[in-house]
Amino acid sequence: MGSFQIEGGHRLSGSIQPQGAKNEALQILCAVLLTSEKITINNIPDILDVNKLIRLLTNLGVKVEKTGKGSYTFKSDDLDLDYLHSEQFKIDGSGLRGSIMIVGPLLARFGKGYIPRPGGDKIGRRRLDTHFEGFIKLGAKFRYNKEDRFYGVEAPKDGLKGSYMLLEEASVTGTANIIMAAVLAKGTTTIYNAACEPYLQQLCQMLNSMGAKIGGVGSNLLTIEGVEELKGCEHRILPDMVEIGSWIGLAAMTRSEVTIKNVNWNMLGVIPNTFRKLGITIEQQGDDIHIPAHTNGYEVQSFIDGSIMNISDAPWPGFTPDLLSIMLVVATQARGSVLIHQKMFESRLFFVDKLIDMGAKIILCDPHRATVIGHDFKSTLKATTMSSPDIRAGISLLIAALSAKGTSVIHNIEQIDRGYENIDERLKAIGAKIERIA
């Protein structure tokens, strides 16, 4: 278990290039299973979860070649489907959340798909009903082995058939999985209440460039006309909007002047404005985000009727749940109070105990809601030793430690490495005092 030692209280300064998006990469990597032709993907982040998925694909027989930093080619022309019944697959498949999205492509192309209970953040119940209900609507037979927690789907002899489906919830990975199954099904599939975040738009665009026929991209109503087969393509992954939000939070909390380069503004949705609700100045400079040093702090806005600010998550185009922990930590130094409401996940706010330990004024109202009363930098957080419970709580604790007085230690930093590329070196480059210790 690795740890970071952080000497807080230093102002940072400089430019940061965001990494490729973790959650897009996980979708796109699964899509390489849909064709026997070569696929080139650029801007793949070098992070634990993505590398685990690449290892899984390699073990499944995908020919993977690294052609440069962040660039790979993939060829799925000779897969070893027996691997799906191996002990190694149980280990590989349960190592991350994104592995669930191999099921759709395997079902579409080979008529069967399996997955052990996938891993990922322990942030509450993470059920998979939407995925499997979608496959069943396409005609697949579903089996679940409770003992092994092993899921399986098999297509009928004459293949999957397109159908209309209204998803119970706009599940991100669920929508991606169903789309990837439907692109090779016979006839037309209509998915209503589809998730529509930028990563799904990117997946659809990639699939269309492979020859798929997906309409309604960017909306919650997708129409997919099945095709016989898909061909190779080249795809570039978007900058990671959650990482971009993390850098914004870091700049504000440490009162540092930071420029985040090439953020792809038109794909950030409500993210910049949500930070502005906490009083953070975000300037658009071309395609960069410039955060000036908040020497005089930042003041939480109130609603038009004067009521207390409330920041909550919602399916896209709402505010992503993956940035709420960062909002919460940033609010601890704001001028004013804010209610943070994590609607989607029920165990994602418990890390506030660590912030309270550091001196933050937070009332955890219930598992979903926390009221934060900002210090307005009149008192800084105190350094402490803590452990990272999940990826976004981890980065939030790291931000807290960088703003705190004294030296903090964060254990279990594998959680942070799951989603943030080379974070210590990139922080050092803008002046942070952080060391990776054994």
The catalytic site residues sit at 121
Return all residues near 265 (Cβ < 8 A) that are at least 6 apart: 272, 284, 287, 289
Q: What is the Cα–Cα distance from 319 to 104, expressed in whole angstroms?
A: 27
Residue 312 interacts with, from ligand PEP, ligand UD1, none (CB under 5-8 Å by kind): none
CB of 176 to ligand UD1, least distance (A): 8
Q: What is the Cα–Cα distance from 230 to 244, expressed in whole angstroms?
A: 33
Q: How many residues does the chain have?
A: 438
240 touches ligand PEP (CB under 6 A): no
Strands, sheet with 369-373, edge to edge from the N-terminal-most edge strand: 309-312, 337-341, 369-373, 361-366
Q: Among 349, 392, 403, 421, which residue sits at the site for ligand PEP (rule: CB under 6 A)? A: 392
Site string for ligand UD1, 114-153 (x = CB under 6 A): ----------x-x---------------------------
Which residues, 10 to 49, sit near ligand PEP by CB under 6 A? 22-23, 49
Residue located via tokens 């504000």: 252
CB of 45 to ligand UD1, least distance (A): 13
Site string for ligand UD1, 329-368 (x = CB under 6 A): ---------------xx-----------------------
Single-letter residue type at 282: I
| Angle, alpha carbons 129-166-188 (nearest 5°) | 110
Residue 354 interacts with, from ligand PEP, ligand UD1, none (CB under 5-8 Å by kind): none
391 touches ligand PEP (CB under 6 A): yes
Residue 89 interacts with, from ligand PEP, ligand UD1, none (CB under 5-8 Å by kind): none
Let me know: does 247 contact 18? Beta carbons within 8 Å. Answer: yes
Binding residues for UDP-N-acetyl-alpha-D-glucosamine: 97, 322, 344
Of residues 375 and 418, the one with the C-beta less far from ligand PEP: 418
322 touches ligand PEP (CB under 6 A): yes
Q: Which two tokens stand for residue 13?
A: 């300064």
CB of 193 to ligand UD1, least distance (A): 8
Strand partners, 405: 382
Residue 226 interacts with, from ligand UD1, ligand PEP, none (CB under 5-8 Å by kind): none
Coil, strand, or helix at residue 78? coil
Single-letter residue type at 245: G
Residue 392 interacts with, from ligand PEP, ligand UD1, none (CB under 5-8 Å by kind): ligand PEP
| Angle, alpha carbons 320-324-326 (nearest 5°) | 120
Residue located via tokens 């993956």: 322
Q: What is the Cα–Cα distance from 364 to 341, expressed in whole angstroms?
A: 10
Q: Which two tokens stand for residue 141?
A: 């037979």
CB of 24 to ligand UD1, least distance (A): 8
Let me know: does 384 contact 397? Beta carbons within 8 Å. Answer: no
Stretch near ligand UD1 under the rule CB under 6 A, chosen from 59-67, 291-299, 314-322, 379-387: 314-322
Q: How far is CA 330 from CA 194, 255, 337, 405, in A?
A: 31, 11, 11, 16
Assign residue 376 a region: left if phi > 0, alpha if psi is -120 to 50, beta otherwise?
A: left
CB of 132 to ligand PEP, least distance (A): 17
Binding residues for phosphoenolpyruvate: 22-23
Q: What are the residue ranges of helices labelled H in 118-234?
A: 129-137, 172-182, 198-209
CB of 373 to ligand UD1, least distance (A): 26
Of residues 152 and 315, the one with the C-beta less far from ligand UD1: 315
Q: Among 121, 197, 240, 243, which residue sits at the site for ligand PEP (rule: CB under 6 A)? A: 121
Residue 254 interacts with, from ligand PEP, ligand UD1, none (CB under 5-8 Å by kind): none
Strand partners, 214: 224
Number of residues that bind ligand PEP (CB under 6 A): 11
Let me know: does 61 contact 257? Beta carbons within 8 Å. Answer: no
Stretch near ligand UD1 under the rule CB under 6 A, chosen from 109-117, 157-165, 170-178, 426-434: 170-178
Q: Which two tokens stand for residue 434?
A: 């952080």
> What residues line the site for ligand UD1 (CB under 6 A)?
23, 26, 97-98, 124, 126, 169-174, 315, 320-322, 344-345
> What residues line the site for ligand PEP (CB under 6 A)?
22-23, 49, 97-98, 120-121, 322, 391-392, 419
